[in-house]
Amino acid sequence: MPTNQRTLALIAAWPVLRQLTGRDRYGRGAAVMSARTRALTARTATADRVVKSICPYCAVGCAQNVYVRDEKVVHIEGDPDSPVSRGRLCPKGAATLQLTTGPGRLDTCLYRAPHAAGWQEIDLGTAMDMVADRVIATRRATWEWEHDGRRTARTMGIASLGGATLDNEENYLIKKLLTALGVVQIENQARVCHSSTVVGLGTSFGRGGATTFLQDLQHSDCIVIEGSNFAEAHPVGFQWVTRAKARGAVVIHVDPRFTRTSALADLYVPIRAGTDVAFIGGIIRHVLENDLYFREFVLNYTNAAVIINEDFRDTEDLDGLFSGYNAGTRHYDFGTWQYEGMEVVPASGERDEAYDERTGRESSIRSAGVSETHGAGGATMRGTPRRDESMRDPRCVLQILRRHFSRYTPEMVERICGISPDLFAEVCRHLTENSGPERTAEFVYAVGWTQHSDGSQFIRAASILQLLLGNMGRPGGGIQALRGHASIQGSSDIPTLFNLLPGYIPMPHAHTHETLDDFLRADSPHKGYWADMRGYMVSLLKAWWGPKAQPDNDFCFGHLPRITGSHSTYDTVMAQLDGVCKGYFLLGENPAVGSANARTQRLGMANLDWLVVRDFSLIESATWWRDGPEIESGESRTADIGTEVFFFPAAAHTEKSGSFTNTNRMLQWHHQAVEPTGDTRSDLWFMYHLGRIIRGKLAGSTDPMDAPLLDLTWDYPTEGPHDEPVAEAVLAEINGWDATGTPLRRYTDIKGDGSTACGCWIYCGVYAGGVNQAARRKPGDQQDWLAAEWAWAWPDNRRLMYNRASARPDGRPWSERKKLVWWDEAASEWTGYDVPDFDARKHPDYRPPDDATGSDALSGIDPFIMQPDGKGWLFAPAGVVDGPLPVHYEPQDSPVANPLYRRQRSPARMLFPREDNRYHPSGDEPGAGMYPYVVTTYRLTEHFTAGGMSRNTPYLAELQPEMFCEVSPELAAERGLENGGWATIVTARSAIEARVLVTRRMTPLRADGQVVHQIGLPFHWGPNGMTSGDAANELSSIVLDPNSHIQEVKAFSADILPGRRPRGAARTALVREYRRQAGVTDRTGMEM
């Protein structure tokens, strides 16, 4: 083509020319489209059908439209009908087409024989049969009828990990089958992510879930985001913060790093990682010292006026300890923390402390002295507490709070947190000016608060502050817990956790000759809705064992295995290392890089007999035996590892039906779009058919250990070419039915006489009327802001919990601007925009008689209905094992000495002093200078948790291709680090390498006279996938919150060096040399 013709063709193709000469004057249509573009056809235009679904990544719960053509998924986009996401998806959600159809997925079962160097393909049926045989053999070889003379009826030889990425129905079958097999070591991601949320919120308010929902953020007048990088970790949910800001709300971000959240905030507050209790404690002091608390709310709706036992001693009296501490056992006795003249036994905490006293037994069992039960309230209270309505008595809760937080002055906050008094005062002003009858403030947090050795107390501190300011149960108020997995809330509710049965019923402990009545007397309170625990428990037993569960056999209560202390995921690892745990199921979780001190996870798996991994691709937890760091270093040899490994490819959310429970307790249904290919199956399929095969192999057995399994109801209908269990049938069992088979309408219909069956009482109502309420999809723009006809939220479709507190004691709204529910005198009932979280017919003037029990024992001004006294707990007489009030202690490994008290670390923290889990000297201890910097870990928008669902996704791997560390220019200059170069980060556990990002986002802080540098590390990498790198979790130690057994990974000390880390044995030598120079021994960091 001649040059002039090419020139004319180019001019003719110019969009501006088409715009000026054609009819599309404003360039909104054909003018901006080339001929090639006009010839293209959108994937959505040729789809055969559109299937409604939910994003499988974080717990915002964004709705998706899945487009299918020729029985293949061809496109996934946001669903504009959703009132939560309004059609938006974040980069991960937008990349789910690649997650479900991309090159990283496998659809063939693989088998690694003991000591083998590689995989071999194996038939699905053969693999299932082999796993069933392994379960039967291991169970029989490790069966334990008794432990220390007490009935346990369990196996400690099998464990399971995973569930937060799975459907509720899958979690339900996992818990049901494994419990019937006698397995107690059942855990999921909730333990390592948000277990301290359940303790902190449950103890304070009565339930362990987020108190509000994302859309309500738009009604807040002040939003404090702390312990979360909201804009990047939960981007679609953050739209409700920006809407609040557009309406005039003040947004405050408190974080060690300046992030996208900080950039959109009105006020950014840099803080030293791990010091949030001191910061919140300072605000509490400011509120109390200046009488800025909401007096009427505090007096009527909290325990501020209650008198505490005269023998109680605070940390102010005992230099950082509460009364009742036993240095020998490192545990507290709660006796002096009680309300005067009465006993309060924990809902979360050590129920076993007073078990025998409450049931008439002669001896007691302490069950390892740790907290094993927590959740939706349930503390037992005997008697009526003495109150001082003036709140001036020196032993009343309010005055104890004043004294307790008196040390947390602005100057002390600066010494601990590195926050200037002027900046601190600005935060206090915004919070207090935006709280009260006319205005509300909200706190938002995530794992930046939960993952600490005192993480439960971080959340308790915010709970206390919100109660004092009157921000609970009201629009724009509350505490928003941002969860990071699609159904991590559901896997806590159902749950796949060792210490709980569905609906937060405590798992039975080992006691001599314990009966159902004994259990209920010990664990169910006399007041509040937990007094109905008989109904919840008996109906669960009927759901699991059906006609076999009868009054004359305690409704099969004896079929439940017993726990004897902590059997959390980290205890399971220790059991693997010690040769006790022999078989392990990994169901969508990747502990080989995703859990603290990842090395111990791999060493534990190397000591197993067999391992089952179910995932989309070959994650590190499936391949550590051939390419893990210990293989590289020469510490382990593949030929020496005898673990038998089974890999089963898992179905994606588009290939199965089921429900996710999002961060706001809302169950949303995702529909199956296509059939899974090859050997790919859902976890529902896997658990159902594994149970079917095992039951078939044991059919006819008369061994008592097999009775719980053979008596189990396991007759779910199946459908499709793969005999997939019908997920709605499982949901119907979770909801429950009466003796006629009619689905229950709500949890108040549950009976304790065996006439109802219900798999999870808090989910009762999700299948009311025989209709899948979780699948409701009335568009958000056709509803009010609560959107009550989109999906279903527990409890009873209430969207904002504790909403009785949105009205005055007399039932009138606190203000017209913040009204939500109120008393309608004419109708004689509570009414409003939301479903009242209260007895709808209970008059505000109602006061219970002394002999009242259950919900009748709560007055008309008791909004926290899951608490035995109906009040929000400023002071916790039970429920937390490390103190009734929050205290600032330094992290386990910290370069800073505690300025507040002589006690450096939490005296009740859980420690594991092993050779492969050494701790650092801290503060002014000799050797602390070897680890002079603070490390904090975090999530990126483009990756997901341990990386298994993002590092194998091309779009996401391209967006964030390499592991890196963030350091300030000052730290870079101090250590000779170059932007874009390499750095080695060293702790007493390991050393890793990362690319260096020198950035002003990391701010050096001055804490107690010394400059503190902080290093930011994302936690998504590992050696496998399209993008690979060292895992941040190689560096951290295993030290746990004693209430929830969650690990501390958000603040620990380390050193950083320029250059790449040593290879092979040289890396181990570097770590050992650091230990030697720091003087690290088995006693380092072990003081009380």
Tokens of 84: 């939560």
Q: Residue 42 carries which side chain, given as an amino acid letter?
A: A
Q: What is the pLDDT of residue 384?
A: 83
Q: What is the pLDDT of residue 13?
A: 66
CB neighbour list of residue 1077: distance below 8 Å, 6 or more residues apart: 927, 930
Last residue of a domain, one of 439, 461, 482: 482
The total number of residues written for the chain in this structure: 1088
Domain count, the chain: 4
Whether residue 856 sits in one domain with residue 966: no
Give φ, ψ of 226 to 5 degrees: -145, 135
Whether residue 847 sits in one domain with residue 919: no
Strand partners of residue 506: 500
Whether residue 958 sits in one domain with residue 822: no
Do 693 and 129 form a contact (C-beta atoms < 8 A)?
A: yes
d(C-alpha 880, C-alpha 348), whole Å: 6
Question: Of 571, 589, 474, 499, whose CA–CA distance to 161 is shortest?
Answer: 589
pLDDT reading at 1042 higher than 70: yes
Range 679-687 average pLDDT: 99
Do 838 and 831 form a contact (C-beta atoms < 8 A)?
A: no
Domain of 1071: which CATH number? 2.40.40.20
Q: What is the pLDDT of residue 12?
A: 66
State how far Cα 971 lies from the chain centre.
Answer: 33
Confidence of residue 19 (pLDDT cuts 50, 70, 90): low
State how beta strands 183-187 and 150-161 pair.
Answer: parallel
Q: What is the pLDDT of residue 39?
A: 81
Range 252-266 average pLDDT: 99
Do 940 and 965 form a contact (C-beta atoms < 8 A)?
A: no
Confidence of residue 585 (pLDDT cuts 50, 70, 90): very high
Domain of 300: which CATH number? 3.40.228.10
Q: Which of 511-525, 539-553, 785-799, 1062-1076 has the lowest mean pLDDT?
A: 511-525
Q: What is the pLDDT of residue 43?
A: 80
Helix (H, G, I), strand (E, B) or coil at 1068: helix
The mean predicted confidence, pLDDT, of the chain is: 94
Do 143 and 156 form a contact (C-beta atoms < 8 A)?
A: no
d(C-alpha 572, C-alpha 578), whole Å: 10
Whether residue 856 sits in one domain with residue 973: no
C-alpha R_g of the chain: 28
Q: What is the pLDDT of residue 365?
A: 27
Domain presence at residue 522 = no
Range 859-877 average pLDDT: 96
d(C-alpha 565, C-alpha 559), whole Å: 19
377, 453, 916, 936 from 910: Cα distances, Å: 23, 8, 16, 20
Q: Residue 966 carries which side chain, given as an amino acid letter?
A: E
Domain presence at residue 740 = no
266, 987, 1034, 1037 from 917: Cα distances, Å: 42, 10, 11, 6
Tokens of 358: 């409450």
Look-up: residue for tokens 């009526």? Answer: 384
Domain presence at residue 560 = no
Domain presence at residue 439 = yes
State how far Cα 879 lies from the chain centre.
Answer: 18
Proportion of the chain above pLDDT 70, given as a percent: 94
Q: What is the pLDDT of residue 27?
A: 65
Confidence of residue 17 (pLDDT cuts 50, 70, 90): low
Proportion of the chain above pLDDT 90, given as a percent: 89
Write out the H or E segment, with its range, that includes residue 216: none
The parent domain of residue 14 ranges over 1-40
Whether residue 983 sits in one domain with residue 846: no
Question: Of 1041, 1038, 1039, 983, whose CA–CA distance to 1013 is shortest?
Answer: 983
Instruction: Report pLDDT digits (tens) over 320-329.
Output: 999 999 999 9
Whether residue 1055 sits in one domain with residue 959: yes
Q: Which of 68-72, 675-679, 849-853, 923-927 has the lowest mean pLDDT?
A: 849-853
Confidence of residue 341 (pLDDT cuts 50, 70, 90): confident
Q: What is the pLDDT of residue 605?
A: 99
Tokens of 623: 């391949």
> CA torsion angle for 258, 263, 267, 272 (degrees, to 10)?
-10
Would you list the DSSP string of 318-380? TTS--TTEETTTTEE-GGGGSBTTSEEE-SSB-GGGGHHHHHT-SS---GGGS--B-SS---E
Whether residue 281 sits in one domain with residue 216: yes
Phi-psi region of 501 (alpha: psi -120 to 50; beta: other; left: phi over 0): beta
pLDDT reading at 817 higher than 90: yes
- Long-range contacts at 711-718 (CB < 8 A, ≥ 24 apart): 711/545, 711/548, 711/556, 711/559, 712/176, 712/177, 712/180, 712/544, 712/545, 713/543, 713/544, 713/545, 713/546, 714/177, 714/688, 716/688, 718/688
pLDDT reading at 51 higher than 90: yes
Q: What is the pLDDT of residue 358?
A: 39
Question: Of 616, 624, 593, 632, whose CA–CA distance to 1018 is shortest?
Answer: 593
Whether residue 922 sits in one domain with residue 819: no
d(C-alpha 708, C-alpha 545), whole Å: 8
- How many Cβ atoms from other residues are within 10 Å of residue 287's Cβ? 22
d(C-alpha 437, C-alpha 809), whole Å: 13
pLDDT reading at 111 higher than 80: yes
pLDDT reading at 827 higher than 80: yes
Whether residue 814 sits in one domain with residue 917: no
pLDDT reading at 703 higher than 60: yes
Domain presence at residue 250 = yes
Tokens of 310: 């005269």
Domain presence at residue 114 = no
Q: What is the pLDDT of residue 404?
A: 98
The single-letter DSSP state of residue 510 is P
Q: What is the pLDDT of residue 15?
A: 72
Q: What is the pLDDT of residue 348?
A: 36
d(C-alpha 1052, C-alpha 922), whole Å: 10
d(C-alpha 511, C-alpha 563), whole Å: 10
d(C-alpha 886, C-alpha 208), whole Å: 18
Instruction: Report pLDDT digits (tens) over 932-967.
Output: 999 999 999 999 999 999 999 999 999 999 999 999
Range 200-215 average pLDDT: 95
pLDDT reading at 368 higher than 60: no
Instruction: Report pLDDT digits (tens) over 412-433.
Output: 999 999 999 999 999 999 999 9
Whether residue 972 sits in one domain with residue 830: no
Range 754-782 average pLDDT: 98
pLDDT reading at 921 higher than 60: yes
Give φ, ψ of 170 to 5 degrees: -70, -45
Range 372-377 average pLDDT: 48
100, 482, 622, 1051, 1056 from 923: Cα distances, Å: 48, 32, 39, 14, 18
Whether residue 979 sits in one domain with residue 859: no
Look-up: residue for tokens 């680090």? Answer: 977
Domain presence at residue 979 = yes
Last residue of a domain, one of 426, 447, 482: 482
Write out the H or E segment, with its range, that includes residue 881: none
d(C-alpha 107, C-alpha 647), whole Å: 10
Q: What is the pLDDT of residue 225?
A: 99
Whether residue 846 sits in one domain with residue 930: no
d(C-alpha 394, C-alpha 472), whole Å: 26
State how beta strands 110-112 and 120-121 pair.
Answer: antiparallel
Give φ, ψ of 656 to 5 degrees: -160, 165
Domain presence at residue 852 = yes
